């Protein structure tokens, strides 16, 4: 999978206004690290905690999907960021992240607070939730019915998760990739990690790109960036004509044009001296009066 990474780096570096494309090289994960993750007890985090703020111990007791395991054996995680230059100052914009094995932390039923009897993510479960309505896949559960692991923190805009939806009586090896938005709603992304990796690469890590796969779509501000740096593959149905009607069509070549260029000064026609203007006015008025006088004499 190193080919797409290098290709995306070169593509971004040649895009208008893009600056500071950073790709962090990762060493391959050790086999024993992956085996330990699958078999040993792992820390469980609440929704707002990072992997460094553990809250409880639970066993994973699950096997990583083959494509994700192969990815980790080549690179223990993935990180590429890029900025755009505005007014000569780089501004962080794109971010593509896949957590390392050590940061592949579980979201689960641990308390979100340190207080006794505090609510947990499992308390958000509703027995009336739809269980695979029609063509829609069954949604993950925060309780013991599912195992959920964080793949990407999405810069605080949500979480991309590796989900084992059926954990009882034993963990099913079937996994899917889901997006959990800030309102704690689930949105299906892909069946496999490989398919998700392609989505991540082709969407260039643009802000909030995961929301393009929700019913409410990306924000107007994010649409501006989508219009400037259109992903290689994008569902155009998500950007209807009505939605585009209030989105400015920006040209990156004009937006990031160097402001230090010497402006072209248009020459103005020479203005007449004040004295000449007065004499011209008096001559005109005298001619007018003489003509009027002649006509009256007639």
- pLDDT, mean of each 10-residue run, the chain (298 residues): 66 87 93 89 54 50 91 96 88 95 81 54 58 73 90 94 85 90 94 95 92 92 87 52 45 54 58 53 50 47
Look at residue 243 in the predicted model and tell me its pLDDT: 40
Q: What is the DSSP string of 154-187?
A: GGGTEEEEEEE---SSS--S--EEEEEETTS-EE
Q: Is the dihedral of CA 156, 9, 217, 140 positive or negative?
A: negative
- How far, in Å, CA of 6 to CA of 237, rounded? 29
- Report pTM: 0.70
Look at residue 52 in the predicted model and tell me its pLDDT: 44
Closest alpha carbon to 231 in 251, 208, 205: 205
User: What's phi and psi for 255, nearest 5 deg?
Assistant: -65, -40
- How far, in Å, CA of 3 to CA of 23, rounded? 13
Q: Which two tokens stand for residue 110?
A: 């641990």
């Amino acid at each position: 999978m190193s080919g797409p990474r290098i290709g995306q780096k070169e593509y971004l570096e040649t895009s208008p206004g893009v600056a500071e494309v950073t790709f962090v090289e990762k060493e391959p994960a050790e086999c024993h690290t992956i085996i330990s993750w699958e078999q040993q007890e792992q820390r469980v985090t609440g929704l707002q905690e990072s992997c460094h703020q553990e809250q409880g111990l639970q066993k994973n007791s699950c096997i990583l999907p083959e494509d994700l395991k192969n990815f980790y054996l080549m690179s223990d995680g993935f990180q590429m960021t890029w900025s755009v230059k505005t007014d000569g100052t780089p501004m962080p914009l794109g971010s593509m992240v896949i957590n390392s094995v050590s940061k592949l932390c579980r979201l689960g039923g641990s308390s979100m607070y340190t207080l006794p009897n505090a609510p947990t993510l499992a308390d958000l479960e509703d027995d009336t939730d739809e269980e695979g309505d029609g063509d829609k896949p069954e949604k993950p559960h925060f309780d013991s019915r599912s195992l959920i692991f964080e793949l990407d923190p999405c810069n605080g805009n949500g979480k991309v998760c590796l989900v084992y939806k059926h954990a009882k009586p034993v963990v099913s090896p079937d996994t899917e990739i889901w997006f959990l938005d800030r309102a704690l709603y689930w949105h299906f992304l892909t069946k496999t990690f490989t398919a998700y990796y392609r989505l991540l690469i082709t969407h260039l890590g643009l802000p909030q790109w995961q929301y393009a796969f929700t019913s409410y779509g990306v924000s107007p501000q994010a649409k501006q960036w989508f219009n400037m740096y259109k992903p290689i593959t994008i569902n155009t149905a998500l950007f209807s004509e009505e939605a585009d009607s209030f989105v400015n069509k920006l040209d990156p070549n004009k937006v990031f044009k160097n402001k230090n260029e010497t402006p072209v000064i248009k020459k103005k026609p020479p203005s007449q001296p004040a004295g000449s203007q007065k004499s011209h006015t008096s001559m005109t008025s005298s001619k007018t009066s003489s003509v009027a006088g002649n006509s009256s004499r007639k």
